[in-house]
Amino acid sequence: MYKVLVTDGISHTGLKSLLDHPHFIVDRQPTLNTEELKNIIGTYDALIVRSQTKVTEELLQAADRLHVIARAGVGVDNIDVNAATRKGIIVINAPGANTIAATEHTLAMMLALARKIPQAHQKTAAGEWDRNSFKGVELYKKTLGVVGMGKIGTEVAKRAKSFGMNILGFDPYLTEERAKKLGITKAGLDLIAAESDFITVHTPLTNDTRGIINDEFLAKTKKSVRIVNCARGGIINEKALVRAIQLGHVAGAALDVFEKEPAADPELLQNPNIIVTPHLGASTVEAQEKVAQEVSKEIIDIFETQSIQHAVNMPQMSGETQAKLQPYLLLGDQIGQLVIQLLKRQAPGKINIHYYGDLIDEDTELLTRTLLRGILSYHLSDSVNLINVLHLLKEQGVSYNVQKNATNKGFANYMELSVSQGTETARIGATVLNGYGARIVKINEYRIDIKPEKYLLYIKHQDVPGIIGKVGSLLGDYQINIGTMQVGRAEVGGEAIMVLTLDKGLGAEMLRELTHIDGLEEAQLLELTNMDALEPGHEELQKVESI
């Protein structure tokens, strides 16, 4: 018998498969405080939570029997996933169950915004019959810009078409062919800003999408544009939005999510042109039943058949495989992140992975998934993991190829990753040197030797005297400290690259100033996330024994 603890308000109907299963005992205790939960967690095999329960490292220290934590929803911000991974606990979620709920809430917010329904209701309920203050606009023949054409963005676009709207869609993975099938127009952000009457955002929150709707973007929009966010707080710069509404440039906004929740900013909550709801996108009876059904089914599958579909943390591996591949896992994730940035942040159309030397004798499936996750995570953030990465590649229409070659390429173990889109290709080669650790030893056709760091400045330039000094001097003027610098060139006096590790990042203004140096062709800041996620020393990452 397996014991399952449910600590938050989870749909009883959704839990039915677990409640009726002869091998599971389900305890529903939604009112436990932190100390009470800590005292009993050690007797359970699985834990199901929503957003209320905080699954901390301290709690997990007492969870000696726990094998699975299930989040009945999408986000896992309330779960210390790294601590769970170190303890060998699988963390799962229900990523697709709220698609329809979030889609419909977006349309509801758009309609409410267009017709000023909440404001009219409030005044009418107060006893004032005012038909003149709430003149709205129609959706018919208006242009809707959809920023993020994932599952929810796609469903919003389909439904908006039934209102007779013209749809502009932006997504790094949206192809012309897919846009044509959906009956929408593939567009860049500038076109969406210039042409849209309504704009709705449906992207993950990443470094690239944080504040993507900002002062600069809003300045390019049509006067009286209306903006909806039922995706993630932080995608819209709230201060910039308020300023644009106060200036009369933006007609209004409808927000279900906020930079800080619970929302408390009076400029948002008390603005008559902003409609707000308390993160209700997934709050339907049906969605809550679906998320409970999904996690219940997966818990049963994990314990009965060891099948995992929606894990958000790293799958387990044998101790022997771990010892051999551990140093390459973090490196693989890092070069995946870097190579997609070198492709000028385009979505890849094709991915090639090459393994050389002793790596060809290992089971490299986990390493391959890590490389692929690093690539996709740049655009898809934490929605991509080692379990779903192959599915997401197929869903996005991206092909990948893996080749193994016994040639050592000058190193005992060497891996090379290339991504391409059209005629553009970016390539990184890397290895782990005994006694020295991870090294990037090739970028495109140039040989270098550099340790991956959080901030890397990649510069393409002409191999002429003085450029290195000018770059160093300019960085010094901005108080940017250089850790290391490597230069690679194909021939004397020809094109060359330099890669510098920096102690902190630098902004767009400084990058533009660097490109003003004579002979310097390109400057790009490459940034790595999750630098310690797979650090050597996490020996706790052992294979979960057959449960």
Q: Nearest CA to 46 among 63, 59, 23? A: 63
Residue 261 annotated as catalytic: yes
Which pLDDT does position 317 carry in this prediction? 56
Which pLDDT does position 471 carry in this prediction? 96
pTM: 0.78
Q: Which long-range contacts (CB under 8 A, 24 or more apart) does 180-187 make?
A: 182/154, 182/157, 182/158, 184/146, 184/157, 187/145
Residue 279 annotated as catalytic: yes
Which pLDDT does position 541 carry in this prediction? 32
The percent of residues in the chain predicted with pLDDT above 90, rounded, is 75
Catalytic residue among 57, 138, 216, 261: 261
Which pLDDT does position 416 carry in this prediction? 97
Catalytic residue among 279, 354, 373, 379: 279
Which pLDDT does position 545 carry in this prediction? 32
Q: Nearest CA to 238 among 262, 263, 220, 219? A: 263
The pLDDT tens digits of the residues spanning 399-448 come to: 999 999 887 778 989 999 999 998 999 999 999 998 889 999 999 999 99
3-state helix, strand, coil in the chain (%, to 5): 35, 25, 40
The pLDDT tens digits of the residues spanning 80-123 come to: 988 888 787 999 999 888 899 999 999 999 999 999 999 999 99
- Check whether 535 has a pLDDT greater than 60: no
Q: Nearest CA to 99 among 172, 163, 148? A: 148
Lowest mean pLDDT among 38-47, 324-333, 413-422, 493-502: 324-333
Measured distance CA(308)–CA(331) in Å, rounded: 25
Cβ–Cβ contacts within 10 Å for residue 412, how many?
14
The pLDDT tens digits of the residues spanning 245-299 come to: 999 999 999 999 999 989 999 999 999 999 999 999 989 999 999 999 999 999 9
Measured distance CA(419)–CA(21) in Å, rounded: 46
Measured distance CA(298)–CA(416) in Å, rounded: 35
- Check whether 526 has a pLDDT greater than 70: yes
Residue 177 annotated as catalytic: no
Catalytic residue among 50, 71, 226, 232: 232
Which pLDDT does position 316 carry in this prediction? 53
| DSSP character at residue 258 | -
Lowest mean pLDDT among 155-159, 237-241, 483-487, 527-531: 527-531
